[in-house]
């Protein structure tokens, strides 16, 4: 037997392969199983073309066998096998793919064969975990069997051998364990089973594994139970992926079970989206929306992504590029035959196909959410509860690039309808003459609803959208308007509903009392930038609003950000109702005792703080003032 050298380039490549192409050593099993699956596909194809009916698809399988004593792992298939020449060509020259050759030689339109391999390197990944690899193979239609053997870069040998039946056995002798790598793991049933499940679950032929089991044996005249171990062959892979099966053949329960098992959720998903695109780039996708916010979802640690398969073989566990950030709650799998993979199947060479798929998925998810919103409101509102915040973030992020795509999906509580409404619904129910979309921000619907600033609008029959998330004001700023109607905060100085005469009246009154109002402002010692008379208030004495860009809600939001960020403060304005008793009391006191008037102003400011759900600077002083006035 003569030892042959790999071609020079091959040697380098083998070295590179062993050391760097793959990030995870465990994928060697996936590569060998994919080769076996290809070999079976080739056999079925060849036999069918030759009119050989003795070969049936149903008899084909792949078998994985671990031998702990000899530290070997054998991957066998009853596929097409190789003759001497093919062994030489396919395994003697790295990066020559017999599979690619086969694919190129195939009749056009031979669709049933979906060969996975085409780079001619997968086989060598075995050397990442093996000291020695032996291939015993017999080609379909031939009578000779051959054995190929190699200990890596050193070269290989080929010699005739005996083998029953066609097909190939790949025997890999695992390396000795080191500190960092426990190669012996690959002999454990548990590891093998999970690797097969993880990477090769949807290989179309059964992958059989010998599993050690134990059973009770009856021993006559003895009460002691006795057990014996035995091995049983088990088919590990599920073979046909759910997403490859026809829609009508898959039950809801199967879809739900698959989701729970795969994505470790206890609850059924809220919604399932199945996509089947046949086009210049064909793909199938099975997507899920969880029924509740996953733990840690709204943190940086949560990573988005879909599982990516190429012809039933998993190539990426979490492909971020497939799903945009604003739909990051979507989980699922995508499978396409049209991806150009790079040599290690780990990265995609051309992202064009991926981008096409991703754009399509984004469109479909949006359509599905819109469908729920229109046809199954209850379900949509549940979804909104879990992931509405995500959509809001989607609107403000990336400088608003996605706002138009997402704005129709927003829901806000409406003061008039007393339920969640879309912006479109708000717009459609606006009474004639209403110029703005009114909104109010606060901690809760109940709190916002009790704000004095809402009274006049309610009286006019205008609905106000109540916003209770910190991000809401940013959403409103980002949107600016909806269907040509601008958003207006109820804190705005001018709500656009004032009676012109009343407004003039108030302005006049403000002018008359300017000295007192400025005095109150000054005695509040920088706490407010102005004290004004308001035409917004009806039954309440005071309210707090803000001048300028920063609203009170924004100030609250910024104050919750930990660290020594910029101290962002709103320019507070104390608004006083000129028709309220409190105002007359101020006027009277102003005539008699200016100091007392200042204290009354202080009391009113504190009340405005309470109404706005802001903390009092000095609660004890507040009660004292209250008692003094009483
Ligand atoms: P690829 O699968 O990308 O073509 P590999 O290095 O994995 O590259 O395999 C090289 C070639 O060896 C394959 O194209 C195929 O022709 C042949 N081969 C590998 N494994 C088997 C097998 N189990 N049965 C038959 N032929 C095989």
pLDDT, average across residues 288-307: 92
Calculate how far, in angstroms, residue 261's C-alpha sits from the geometric centre of ligand 1.
32
Q: Is 119 in the pocket of ligand 1 (CB under 6 A)?
A: yes
Task: Provide the pLDDT confidence category of residue 312 given band limits of 50, 70 and 90.
Answer: confident
What does the pLDDT average to over 585-594? 93
410-496 topology per CATH: Rossmann fold (3.40.50)
Residues 488-501: tens digit of each pLDDT: 999 887 888 877 88
Q: Mean of the pLDDT values across residues 155-172?
A: 95
| 556 CB burial (10 A radius; 0-12, 13-18, 19+) | middle
| Token pair recorded at residue 580 | 């309220």
* Top mutation candidate among 37, 76, 97 for ligand 1, by most atoms within 8 Å of CB: 97
**Rounded-to-integer distance, Cα 347 and Cα 345, Å:** 6
30-57 pLDDT, tens digit each? 999 999 999 998 898 888 888 899 998 8
| Pocket flag, ligand 1, residue 171 (CB < 6 Å) | no
Distance between CA 295 and CA 503 in Å, rounded? 52
Q: Which residue has the higher pLDDT, 5 or 319?
A: 319
> Is the CB–ligand 1 distance for residue 120 below 6 Å?
yes
Run of H or E including 481:
strand 481-482
Which of 410, 432, 431, 430 lies closest to 421 in space, CA to CA?
Answer: 410
Q: Say how far apart CA 547 and CA 555 lie, in whole Å.
A: 12
Is pLDDT at 81 greater than 80 in this prediction?
yes
- What distance in Å separates the CA atoms of residue 547 and residue 529, rounded to the nearest whole number? 8
φ, ψ for residue 170, nearest 5 deg: -110, 120
Q: Are strands 464-467 and 436-441 parallel, antiparallel or unpaired?
A: parallel
Torsion over CA: 121, 123, 129, 132 (sign): negative
Q: Is the pTM of this model over 0.95?
A: no
CA distances from 192 to 65, 140, 189, 450, 481 (A): 9, 29, 5, 63, 58
> What would the CATH number be for the domain defined by 3-235?
3.30.565.10
Number of H-type helices and E-type strands within the chain: 19, 22
Distance set, CA 607 to CA 522, 603, 624 (Å): 18, 6, 13
The winner for highest mean pLDDT among 48-52, 294-298, 352-356, 390-394 is 390-394
Our answer on whether the CB atom of 99 is closer than 6 Å to any ligand 1 atom is: yes
How many angstroms separate the Cα of 351 from the Cα of each of 68, 322, 375?
Answer: 43, 10, 36
pLDDT at 423: 97
Q: How far is CA 241 from CA 158, 254, 261, 281, 365, in A?
A: 38, 11, 14, 19, 21
Name which residue leads in pLDDT, 590 or 261: 590
Ligand 1 lined by 39 (C-beta under 6 Å): yes
Domain-wise residue ranges, the chain:
3-235, 242-385, 410-496, 498-630
Annotation: CATH topology of 242-385? Ribosomal Protein S5; domain 2 (3.30.230)
**Residue 544 near residue 572, CB atoms below 8 Å:** yes
User: Residues 6 or more apart from 491 whose CB is under 8 A from it?
Assistant: 440, 453, 545, 546, 551, 552
State both tokens at 152.
């890596």
Q: What is the CATH number of domain 498-630?
A: 1.20.120.790
Torsion of CA 127, 128, 130, 136, to 10 degrees: -40
Task: Check whether 80 has a pLDDT greater than 90.
Answer: yes
442 close to 613: Cβ distance less than 8 angstroms: yes
To test ligand 1's pocket by mutation, which of 30, 44, 123, 145 has the most ligand atoms within 8 angstroms of CB? 123
C-beta pairs of 147-151 under 8 Å, 24+ apart in sequence: 148/87, 148/91, 150/91
Q: Do 77 and 166 touch, CB atoms closer than 8 A?
A: no
97 lines ligand 1 (CB under 6 A): yes
Sign of CA dihedral 9, 11, 14, 18: negative
Residue 395 near ligand 1, beta carbon < 6 Å: no
Quick: pLDDT tens for 529-582.
999 998 888 889 999 988 887 888 788 777 777 666 667 788 999 999 999 999
Q: How far is the CA of 317 from the centre of ligand 1 (A)?
A: 24
Contact 213, 229 (CB under 8 A): yes
Phi and psi, residue 158, nearest 5°: -130, 135
């Amino acid at each position: 037997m003569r030892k042959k050298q790999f071609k020079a380039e091959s040697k380098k490549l083998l070295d590179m392969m062993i050391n760097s192409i793959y990030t995870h050593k465990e994928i060697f099993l996936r590569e060998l199983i994919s080769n076996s699956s290809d070999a079976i596909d080739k056999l079925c194809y060849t036999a069918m073309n030759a009119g050989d009916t003795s070969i049936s698809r149903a008899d084909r399988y792949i078998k994985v066998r671990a031998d702990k004593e000899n530290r070997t792992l054998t991957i066998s298939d009853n596929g097409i096998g190789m003759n001497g020449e093919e062994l030489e060509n396919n395994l003697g020259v790295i990066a020559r793919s017999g599979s690619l050759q086969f694919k190129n030689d195939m009749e056009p339109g031979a669709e049933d064969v979906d060969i996975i391999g085409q780079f001619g390197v997968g086989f060598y990944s075995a050397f990442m975990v093996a000291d020695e690899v032996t291939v015993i193979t017999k080609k379909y239609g031939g009578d000779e069997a051959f054995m190929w053997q190699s200990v890596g870069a050193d070269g290989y040998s080929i010699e005739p051998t005996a083998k029953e039946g066609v097909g190939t056995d790949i025997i890999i002798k695992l390396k000795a364990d080191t500190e960092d790598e426990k190669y012996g793991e690959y002999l454990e049933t548990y590891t093998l089973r999970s690797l097969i499940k993880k990477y090769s679950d949807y290989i179309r032929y059964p992958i059989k594994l010998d599993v050690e089991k134990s059973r009770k044996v009856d021993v006559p005249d003895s009460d002691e139970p006795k057990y014996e171990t035995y091995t049983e062959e088990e088919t590990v892979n599920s073979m046909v992926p759910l997403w490859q099966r026809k829609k009508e053949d898959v039950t809801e329960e199967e879809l739900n079970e698959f989701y729970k098992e795969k994505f470790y959720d206890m609850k059924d998903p809220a919604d399932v989206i199945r996509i089947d695109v046949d086009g210049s780039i064909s793909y199938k996708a099975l997507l899920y929306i969880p029924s509740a916010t996953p733990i840690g979802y709204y943190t940086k640690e949560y990573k988005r992504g879909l599982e990516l398969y190429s012809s039933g073989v998993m190539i990426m566990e979490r492909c971020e590029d497939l799903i945009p950030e604003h739909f990051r709650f979507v989980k699922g799998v995508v499978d396409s035959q049209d991806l150009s993979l790079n040599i290690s199947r780990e990265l995609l060479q051309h992202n064009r196909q991926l981008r096409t798929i991703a754009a399509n998925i984004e469109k479909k998810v949006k359509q599905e959410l819109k469908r729920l919103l229109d046809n199954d409101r209850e379900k949509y509102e549940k979804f909104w509860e879990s992931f509405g915040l995500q959509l809001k973030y989607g609107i403000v992020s990336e400088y608003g690039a996605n706002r138009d795509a997402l704005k129709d999906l927003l829901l806000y509580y409406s003061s008039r309808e007393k339920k969640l409404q879309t912006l479109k619904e708000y717009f459609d129910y606006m009474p004639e003459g209403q110029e703005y979309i009114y909104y109010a921000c606060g901690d809760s619907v109940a709190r916002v609803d009790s704000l004095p600033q809402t009274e006049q609008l309610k009286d006019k029959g205008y609905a106000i959208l109540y916003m209770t998330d910190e991000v809401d004001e940013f959403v409103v700023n980002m949107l600016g308007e909806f269907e040509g109607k601008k958003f207006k905060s109820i804190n705005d100085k001018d709500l656009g509903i004032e009676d012109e005469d009343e407004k003039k009246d108030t302005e006049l009154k403000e002018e008359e009392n300017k000295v007192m109002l400025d005095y109150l402002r000054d005695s509040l010692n920088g706490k407010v930038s102005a004290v004004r008379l308001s035409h917004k208030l009806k039954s309440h004495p005071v309210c707090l609003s803000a001048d300028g860009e920063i609203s009170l809600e924004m100030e609250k939001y910024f104050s919750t950000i930990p660290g020594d960020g910029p101290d962002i403060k709103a320019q507070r304005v104390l608004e006083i109702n000129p028709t309220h008793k409190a105002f007359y009391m101020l006027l009277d006191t102003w005539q008699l005792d200016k100091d007392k008037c200042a204290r009354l102003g202080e009391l009113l400011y504190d009340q405005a703080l309470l109404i706005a759900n802001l903390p009092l600077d000095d609660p004890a002083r507040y009660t004292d003032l209250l008692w003094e006035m009483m």
